[in-house]
Amino acid sequence: MSTTSIVSNAARAAGASPTPEPQVTVLDTGGQYCHLITRKIRELGVYAEIRPSETPAAELSGRKAIVISGGPCSVYEPGSPTVDPAIFSTGAAVLGICYGQQLMAHLLGGTVTKGDRGEYGLAYLEVREQSPLFRGVDHPQKIWMSHRDTVGALPDGFRLLASTETCGTAAIADPERRLYGVQFHPEVVHTECGREILTNFLFGISGCQHDWNPKHRISLIEDQIREVAGGRNVFFFVSGGVDSTVAYTLCLRALGPERVRGLYVDTGLMREGETPYVRQLFASLGATNFSVEDARERFLSALSGVHEPERKRNIIGEKFVEVQDEILQTEHFLDGHWILGQGTIYPDTIESGGSAKADLIKTHHNRVAGIQRLIESNRIIEPLSLFYKDEVREIGRELGIPAEFLERHPFPGPGLAIRCLCSQQPAALQRVDDGWIVPVHSVGVQGDSRTYRPILLLDASRGWEEDYSRATRLINASADFNRVVVQPKAKDPGGFRVFCTDLSDDRLERLRRADDIVRRLCRESGFDREVWQFPVVLIPLGTETAPDSVVLRPVHSVDGMTAQSVPMPQALLDRMCEDLLRVPGVCTVLYDLTHKPPGTIEWE
């Protein structure tokens, strides 16, 4: 179901006024951030919709603005997404973002070429010519990039507005026709001037009017729940995370506790003390139909000998469906009176290729084939599927869920399995100019596409500022790795190697202990309130007596779509390293310096 149809159905169910005619259409060319663009526009008080990129211009009559999203393809490749060229002469203002700028230039007679090197994550924008698009924007400004292709020769009538150190055409415009393009992403939180740029485009250039104020979200969502559920009850597999708990609470409110059943599956992939915590949490929410299923042996045996991250995620997702189906059949829940509820949020669907042209970044456990079958048979309700993590927390606050719980860091549905990396064969490190190539592969996202590459271990730390600058520069310059790490407590990596490892009980327990140490020290120091998420990762890098290394990954984000690696206070980092190096089997501690993009927040 599209964004528009869900909102419209909910509004009709609530007896609210009809959804306004969209002033803005976002054309989806497969970018990760397509829905994020739409949400940012709505936050500015303008109703926006998403349509396929090839939507005929005639169907966009009356729009004040059209936005062409980013995407994972190259405009010069056969079959790459395109738009109806007539949109550039409808009279609507047009903004092309990333791939959208390249596509605009390509269709209007300019050139697009593959850059000498990519540009992923943080960059600095220099405004070369004043324009209504950059009114009130100081420079240089921090912006967020994710591209390798770049606009070369500009189309007739276009002027260069801005550039970065790597990208000479960071912004272009034909002001006479109100056509604008930016190579960076103004919609993401890490572009400091993004809100001002979008405001300038919507109101100063396009002439949009305020017509959207998403109040009463909870009542609309609850009416949507009642409409979708009908006379059926809802069965939730809850994780104890923010998303599933908020979705469960919404269903409790909408349908009453007697119509909502909750079950927590202990997969054996949980954090220390997680199962008792979840029992206590749901008791406090008034969940009377709640139970715990011990499935630890089933999950661990299914994951035995599995190394590849996508395979892990698929096995975990399918195992969830298998356990779920057995429980539903045992409890006689397949008689048509029950449907499955999930806490799926928007990044789960878009990173799994849920948008028509989006590249698969990683398969989420609630978007594997078994879940898709349930969706197709109309047995799924996902009240939060159009929201982002920050919006889910806001809804939770409106529901009265305690702030202490809502501020918990996100934890992935597959649990520690995707933070405990495995290797199918032993391998040696490769010495390069700036450090060591470690042949442990992690997932990244570069140019809206998935990458799966080794990591670079820097030869030595030179201080946070220099380390981060080196990391960004080296990733942009090389396709040999997609993640850069450094050792806070230096050891000679020459004696390290990668071991052949599985997802074993002892390695999971090692990671569980390391994760518990990090969480405890972060709570005690208050550092947990300074970051959005802090994954702790175990990789099979070390020595015969200590075959694993712990990776620290603290990041700042708002919605999980982009993230910035966060430096830690030195005293806290020193204490953390000391405690982690006392865990049996841990060789060294590494610190992940990689932003998103080019690295995903989780390593798998």
DSSP conformation letters of 143-188 = EEEEEEEEE-SPPTT-EEEEE-SS-S-SEEEETTTTEEEESS-TTS
Rounded Cα gap, residues 151 and 340, in angstroms: 47
Domain boundaries, the chain: 17-205, 217-413, 419-592
Q: Using a pLDDT cut of 90, give the percent of the chain over it.
A: 64
Of the chain, the percentage scoring pLDDT greater than 70 comes to: 89
Gyration radius of the chain over CA positions: 24
Which pLDDT score, from 0 to 100, does residue 438 have? 98
Hey, what are 213's tokens?
A: 């104020």
> What's the pLDDT score for residue 36?
87
* The length of the chain, given as a count of residues: 604
DSSP 3-state of 3: helix
Count Cα neighbours of 456 within 13 Å in the Cβ-side half-sphere.
28
Q: Is the pLDDT of residue 197 over 60?
A: yes
- Output the 3-class SS for 208-271: CCCCCCCCCHHHHHHHHHHHHHCCCEEEEEECCCHHHHHHHHHHHHHHCHHHEEEEEEECCCCC
Domain 419-592, CATH among 3.40.50.620, 3.40.50.300, 1.10.132.20, 3.30.300.10: 3.30.300.10
Tell me the residue type at 115.
G
Q: Mean pLDDT, the chain, as a whole number?
A: 88
Per the CB < 8 A criterion, the answer to whether 115 and 146 are in contact is no
- Cα separation, 200 vs 469, whole angstroms: 31
Label residues 100-125 b or e (16+ Cβ within 10 Å = b).
bbbbbbbbbebebeebeebbbbbbeb
With a CB cutoff of 8 Å and minimum separation 6, the contacts of 203 are none
Instruction: Kindly state the helix (H) or strand (E) to which residue 549 belongs, with its residue range.
Output: strand 548-552
CATH code of the region 217-413: 3.40.50.620
Q: Looking at residues 285-314, what average pLDDT do you find?
A: 91
SS3 label, residue 102 = helix
**Does residue 20 carry a pLDDT above 80?**
no
The number of helices, as runs of H, and strands, as runs of E, in the chain is: 16, 26
Q: pLDDT at position 367, please?
A: 47
CA–CA distance, 134 with 194 (Å, rounded to integer): 10
**What is the average per-residue pLDDT within 24-43?**
89
Cα dist from 439 to 104, 241, 244, 602, whole Å: 39, 32, 35, 17
Tell me the pLDDT tens digit for each residue of 539-589.
Answer: 999 999 999 999 999 999 877 878 999 999 999 999 999 999 999 999 999
Dihedrals phi, psi of 102, to nearest 5 degrees: -60, -40
Q: Residue 367 and residue 122: Cα distance in Å, rounded?
A: 30
3-state secondary structure at position 308: coil
- Residue-wise pLDDT for 394-412, tens only, equals 889 889 888 888 888 888 8
- CA-CA distance, 318 to 566, in Å (whole number)? 34
Full 3-state SS string of 319-376: HHHHHHHHHHHHCCCCCCCEEEECCCCHHHHHHCCCCCCCCCCCCCHHHCHHHHHHHH
| pLDDT tens-digit series, residues 210-246 | 987 655 678 889 999 999 999 999 988 888 889 999 9
User: Residues 490-494: what's their mean pLDDT?
Assistant: 91
In the block, which residue shows the tokens 């349908």?
255
The CATH number of domain 17-205, selected from 3.50.50.60, 1.20.1250.20, 3.40.50.880, 3.40.50.2020: 3.40.50.880
**pLDDT tier at 349, thresholds 50, 70, 90:** low
Residue in the structure block whose two tokens are 């030595």:
460
Decide whether 217-413 matches 419-592 in CATH topology. no
Residue that wins the pLDDT comparison between 94 and 372: 94
User: Which phi and psi angles does 123 have, rounded to 5°?
Assistant: -150, 170
DSSP labels, 45-92: T--EEEEETT--GGGGTT-SEEEE---SS-TTSTT-----GGGGGSS-
Q: Strand 536-539 to strand 548-552: parallel, antiparallel, or no bridges (unpaired)?
A: antiparallel
pLDDT score recorded for residue 448: 64
509 compared with 401, residue with greater pLDDT? 509
Q: Which of 571, 530, 533 is nearest to 552 (CA)?
A: 533
CA–CA dist 547, 501 (Å, integer): 9
Confidence at residue 357, expressed as pLDDT on a 0 to 100 scale: 58
Residues designated as active site:
98, 185, 187
Residue 14 pLDDT exceeds 50: no
